Amino acid sequence: MGKVGVRRRASGGPSARAVTSRRRRRTRLRFWLVLGLVAAAGGGVGAVFAAPVLAPARVVPEVPDSYLFPGTPPVLPWPASGQAVLAFDGLGQLGASGPVTKAVPIASVAKVLTAYQVLADHPLAPGETGPALTVSREQAASYWGQVAKGESVVPVRAGERITERDALDALLLASADNVAQILARWDAGSVPAFLVRLNRSAAELGITHSTYTDPSGLDAATVSTAPDQLLLAKAAMRIPAFAQLVAQKQAVIPVAGPIRNFNSLLGRDGVVGIKTGSTMAAGGCLMFAADTPAGPGGVTRRLFGVVLGQPGTSTTILPHALAAAGRLVRAAGSVVSAATVLPAGRGVAVVRQAMHADRALAVPADVTVLGWPGLRYSLKVSGPPSAAVLTLRSEAEPDYRVVSRLR
């Protein structure tokens, strides 16, 4: 009988079907093991199918980037010649006239930087007299020669001891050229050394079109511009002792006795300082400050101005400068007003985020600025959605800004 053809597997070896089955079981086991580990790390099987990550919310401005104060720019009574500049402290430059980038002689207005330097090196509190200076024999002897040249001087005596305040009174009120020399030597040891200090301080103040060749301004090579002197006026008047000195109409000093301030505008139209100057090379000059009503409610604001190079004779150039400054002071206050840039509730930005509706941000109250026609303000929205703000900044005075928290 023939053998039936039956396939036999090799002794002890698994079948192909069994091998495949075991492979499938191992694959399923590895899948569930990995899934379990992911679930344990992510807090559940759902972590494998996490929602897409959204972009963060952002603030999108919806206002112009600038605002122009409405109205016709003011026409001020600028002097017909020379240079002039006006600025409200905290609001910015109101205007200027003449070739204000050209450096010109400034006469005794230069003594403002001399006083500024002395007070920087030897500070005084308001009303304090300070240390004593001793007048040398040489300094006393030069007095009569200066008188013969027609300089502005006060009498001094060899061996005389005068206080720092007395010397500054003589410098700023009586405009004493000889005391400018005395202070320079006392402060720095010599006039040349003092001039190095003066020009360094000028540069530090941003006074870039000026050169000081003497401490009194008598030298026509001591030159500056109206805008440079405006910077100096602001800096000097921030020193309380200086502001007190230049606000005096008169004082009494040793030897000379009573002296008067050449600035006849003091006490009129809010004028509180600061320094006159006049030579035939410089013309009539005046650096001035006035507290004048400006804007709604008659709020007083500090006005600074400089007038240089006013023409005339030796006896009229200073009165001409004083008159020009007086006209500017009286006119300046009337040009300042308030303007509402944005009314309360006006939307200025939106909070935008993917898969969310835009959320509006608005100013909670009227946004009002001070200024004058033609003055431009920049507008900027900044900050995160939870604390966004609108900032308006004057292009004439970056330190003047109005900030509104958005809601």
- Report pLDDT digits (tens) over 181-238: 999 999 999 999 999 999 999 999 999 999 999 999 999 999 999 999 999 999 999 9
Closest residue by Cα to residue 107 from 231, 242, 280: 280
CA distance 259 to 252: 6
CA distance 226 to 231: 9
pLDDT surpasses 50 at 370: yes
Cβ-contact 139, 181 below 8 angstroms? yes
C-alpha distances in angstroms, 174 versus 54, 169, 171, 265, 321?
74, 7, 6, 15, 17
CA distance 221 to 281: 10
Active site (catalytic) residues: 108, 111, 175
The reply to whether 275 sits in an annotated binding site is yes
CA distance 371 to 337: 6
Q: Which residues are CB-neighbours of 137 under 8 A, at least 6 positions away?
A: 158, 159
C-alpha distances in angstroms, 384 versus 63, 196, 345, 350, 388?
17, 49, 20, 11, 5
- Report pLDDT digits (tens) over 118-169: 999 999 999 999 999 999 999 999 999 999 999 999 999 999 999 999 999 9
**pLDDT for 25:** 54
**pLDDT for 55:** 82
Closest residue by Cα to residue 295 from 32, 91, 71, 103: 91
Bridge partners, 88 (sequence order): 92, 303
Banded pLDDT at 9 (limits 50, 70, 90)? very low
The reported pTM is 0.83
Closest residue by Cα to residue 264 from 245, 250, 278, 253: 250
Bridge partners, 74 (sequence order): none
- Report pLDDT digits (tens) over 73-90: 999 999 999 999 999 998
CA distance 305 to 22: 99
pLDDT surpasses 50 at 38: no
CA distance 282 to 310: 8
Which H or E element spans position 181? helix 177-188
**pLDDT for 396:** 87
Bridging pattern class, strands 66-68 and 283-293: unpaired
